[in-house]
Amino acid sequence: MVWGTIIAAYLFLAGLSAGAFLTSSYAARRYPEAKTVRFVGRLISPILMGIGLLLLIVDAEAGLKDPLRFIYLFTNFSSVMTIGTYFISFFMMAAAYIALMELLKKDTSKIVEYVGIIFAVATAIYTGFLIGVIGAVPLWNTAILPILFVVSAFSTGIAGTMLVSAIMDKKVVHMVMSIKKIHLTLLVAEVLLIFTMFLITSSTNESAAQSVSMILSGEYSILFWLGLVVVGLIVPIAIEALELWNSKKLHHTPAGLEVAASGSHGIAATMITESAVLAGGFILRYLLLAAAVPVIFL
């Protein structure tokens, strides 16, 4: 089994879609006045999931030649892929319905939204379990991986939603500060999970140690340290922390100064932060697939 860039993109988009849906649901309850965030999250969620599924179909060349293989995905209940297929199917239907209601400016069914939330979380978890159950690859076969993918999914979901929202409405990013706090927490947690996973996995066996070495000091080290750690994590953490620090100071200033401080500088910071997080989210998945060294059974 060879999984490359297309599968990395599929895992990334599936997690991003789930995270965007959860972000919109949280914003709808916590910040009813931030309609742009709710609208964007609900709209991009099924679109991104649809793109991810198309990539999966394109990658499965044998499946295009033999459509029965796709039917098998819904009937092989001993497979994690079958369970995940149902998770994604229910999530996609709920997300598409809610997006349609949003476009039509109609009230959404609370039951359907709750179903969407449940299967959004399930989809995010599934993206980690999909490769995590493959015991032949020690880098993937760890309990930390599904947790890492869930945290990354929520983080990229916030990033994607906030990035598009900022483009549509420059003021809205300053109305949802608790989302920024959650985002900062997720980014810090992601750093801890990545290095904890590498520390534990590298001591498992020779194949695992080789995979971790390829990422930390081998052929993928530049992409890891510069692309994922610096651009995808440290830069967003620094900017988010600085923005939250400045927002606290604004509570002690007149209202006029708060408006001035939340102008183009804040929007530029948001654009950089969210774009960097999205890049880091894809790089994470690509690295875990590219550096996977299987155990060789003699």
Short-list 161, 49, 20, 24, CA closest to 102 = 24
Q: Would you state the pLDDT for residue 174?
A: 80
Q: Would you state the pLDDT for residue 273?
A: 94
152 Cβ contact list (under 8 Å, min separation 6): 15, 190, 281, 284, 285
The domain total for the chain is 1
123 domain residue, yes or no: yes
295 domain residue, yes or no: no
HEC secondary structure over 120-179: HHHHHHHHHHHHHCCCCCCCCCCCHHHHHHHHHHHHHHHHHHHHHHHHHCCCHHHCCHHH
Q: Would you state the pLDDT for residue 175?
A: 85
205 domain residue, yes or no: yes
User: Which of 105-114, 166-175, 223-232 is predicted with the least confidence, judged by mean pLDDT?
Assistant: 166-175
Mean pLDDT of 121-145: 86
Q: Would you state the pLDDT for residue 249?
A: 63
With cut-offs at 50, 70 and 90, classify the pLDDT of residue 261. very low
Q: Would you state the pLDDT for residue 59?
A: 66
HEC secondary structure over 31-55: CCCCHHHHHHHHHHHHHHHHHHHHH
With cut-offs at 50, 70 and 90, classify the pLDDT of residue 141. confident
User: Which of 12-21, 111-120, 132-141, 281-290 is predicted with the least confidence, judged by mean pLDDT?
Assistant: 132-141
pLDDT for 74 beyond 70: no
269 domain residue, yes or no: yes
Q: Would you state the pLDDT for residue 227?
A: 97
131 Cβ contact list (under 8 Å, min separation 6): 3, 11, 137, 140, 145, 288, 289
- CATH code for the domain in which residue 30 is found: 1.20.1630.10
d(CA 142, CA 205): 13
Longest CA span, the chain: 72
pTM: 0.89
Q: What percent of the chain has pLDDT over 70?
A: 85
158 domain residue, yes or no: yes
**Which has more pLDDT, 111 or 254?**
111
User: Which of 8-22, 123-137, 181-195, 233-247 is predicted with the least confidence, judged by mean pLDDT?
Assistant: 123-137
Mean pLDDT of 86-104: 95
d(CA 176, CA 247): 11
Q: What pLDDT, in 10s, does the model give residues 30-54?
A: 999 999 999 999 999 999 999 998 8
Structure tokens at 167: 């483009």
**Which has more pLDDT, 264 or 29?**
29
Q: Would you state the pLDDT for residue 255?
A: 43
- The per-residue pLDDT of the chain, averaged, comes to 86
Q: What percent of the chain has pLDDT over 90?
A: 62
Instruction: State the residue range of the domain holding 31.
Output: 5-290
297 domain residue, yes or no: no
Mean pLDDT of 13-17: 96
Q: Would you state the pLDDT for residue 257?
A: 38
77 domain residue, yes or no: yes
d(CA 123, CA 65): 27
Q: Would you state the pLDDT for residue 259?
A: 40
Q: What pLDDT, in 10s, does the model give residues 284-294?
A: 999 999 998 88
Q: Would you state the pLDDT for residue 293?
A: 85
